Amino acid sequence: MTETNQMTDTRQMPSPGRRGYHSPEQDPPGLTDEMTPRPDHGEESYEGHQRLAGLRALITGGDSGIGRAVAIAFAREGAAGVAISYLPVEQPDAEETARWIRDAGADAVLVPGDLTDPEVCKDVVDAAVQELGRLDILVNNAGFHLTKGDAGTLEGLQPETVHRVLRTNIEAVLWVTQAALPHLSEGSSIINTSSIQSYDPSGHLLDYAATKAAINSITVNLAEQLGPKGIRVNAVAPGPVWTPLQPATRDPEQLESFGAETPLGRAGQPAELAPAYVFLASPRDASYVSGTIIGVTGGKATF
């Protein structure tokens, strides 16, 4: 792996509100190679400092977007192994992420499966632990929303979509965490992916915003339950971030202004989220941090 001290200036990447995104429309869940421009996951910029030396992690939704950026960062921070779960259709993205993990010197474990099925949640954890040998960090990152047309409004809600949102964003967090718990021990860390939508919900993301508010509650609740075991539980609340989910679930005209409403006036890049996950996972840096939701929102308030 070749590292560089020169950080990519993500402010110079195409940003809604300045030039707008014009990525080709995709079907959910979306793939990275079809995006224009490609997201920055820290491939050329993230430099590790052994904050996670020897640890082993499972990241759901780890094939692309925030999950890929976190996987790359964990590997470069010295993690011994990183397992990523993803939908089978996302295999090309997963293989690319695995290549970056291995280039950093860590073992990469690919565990495909649809986490809307509770049995698959258990199978994914079991497979990851079997390949990794143990589990120290769990990142519940997989998520789904749909805003094309009126899909996220009260009038446009459809049972099939709502069920997918609820099962992916809430139920999978519960079932994956339940399956992982027997493999976690004192010093382990659980990190959930929340959203600015849990604090400042958009009218067209009714079901999705509700699930992210639920994740905040789950995070604080689990921190209380698992604290006596020495297991820390936290969350990261991203603002608008340029990931495959955006062109796959939004109308093209929605992308024109994506991120422009933030005080920084742009969408974030996945690479800008990864350090928050590294901090929360680090037993050296966050040993007394639990029950906390860290906002990485481009300036939007998370309180």
Residue 140 DSSP label = E
Residue 280 lies in a domain: yes
The CATH number that applies at residue 258 is 3.40.50.720
Asked if pLDDT for residue 11 goes beyond 60, the answer is: no
Residue 99 has a pLDDT of 98
Residue 4 lies in a domain: no
Residue 230 lies in a domain: yes
Average pLDDT over residues 2-6: 38
Residue 13 lies in a domain: no
Handedness of CA 199, 254, 163, 193 (dihedral sign): negative
Average pLDDT over residues 262-285: 97
Residue 180 lies in a domain: yes
Asked if pLDDT for residue 16 goes beyond 60, the answer is: no
Lowest mean pLDDT among 4-13, 79-88, 129-138, 162-171: 4-13
Q: Left (φ > 0), alpha (ψ -120 to 50) or beta: where does 183 sit?
A: alpha
Per-residue pLDDT band for 10 (boundaries 50, 70, 90) equals very low
Asked if pLDDT for residue 14 goes beyond 80, the answer is: no
By CB atoms closer than 10 A (0-12, 13-18, 19+), residue 122 is middle
Residues facing 238 on adjacent strands: 296
Residue 219 lies in a domain: yes
Between the alpha carbon of residue 221 and those of residues 215, 216, 290, the distances in Å are: 10, 9, 10
Residue 211 lies in a domain: yes
Q: Which of 194, 155, 204 is nearest to 280 (CA)?
A: 194
Asked if 266 contacts 17 with a C-beta cutoff of 8 angstroms, the reply is yes
Residue 6 has a pLDDT of 38
Asked if pLDDT for residue 129 goes beyond 90, the answer is: yes
Q: Rounded to 5 degrees, what angle do the CA atoms 286, 40, 287 make?
A: 5
- pLDDT digit string (tens) for 56-76? 999 999 999 999 999 999 999
Catalytic residue numbers read 208
Residue 223 has a pLDDT of 98
Tokens of 233: 């539980």
Residue 22, Cβ neighbours under 10 Å: how many?
12
Mean pLDDT taken over the chain: 90
Tokens of 40: 């920055």
Residue 23 lies in a domain: no
Asked if 280 contacts 295 with a C-beta cutoff of 8 angstroms, the reply is no
Residue 282 has a pLDDT of 98
Number of domains, the chain? 1
Residue, of 91 and 149, whose pLDDT is higher: 91
Rounded Cα–Cα distance for residues 278 and 274 (Å): 6
| Alpha carbon 270 to its chain's center | 9
- pLDDT digit string (tens) for 173-232? 999 999 999 999 999 999 999 999 999 998 889 999 999 999 999 999 999 999 999 999
Per-residue pLDDT band for 15 (boundaries 50, 70, 90) equals very low
Rounded Cα–Cα distance for residues 139 and 227 (Å): 17
Residue 299 has a pLDDT of 96
Asked if pLDDT for residue 161 goes beyond 90, the answer is: yes
Query: Structural domain of residue 170, as residue ranges?
Result: 33-296
The percent of residues in the chain predicted with pLDDT above 70, rounded, is 87
Residue 31 has a pLDDT of 76
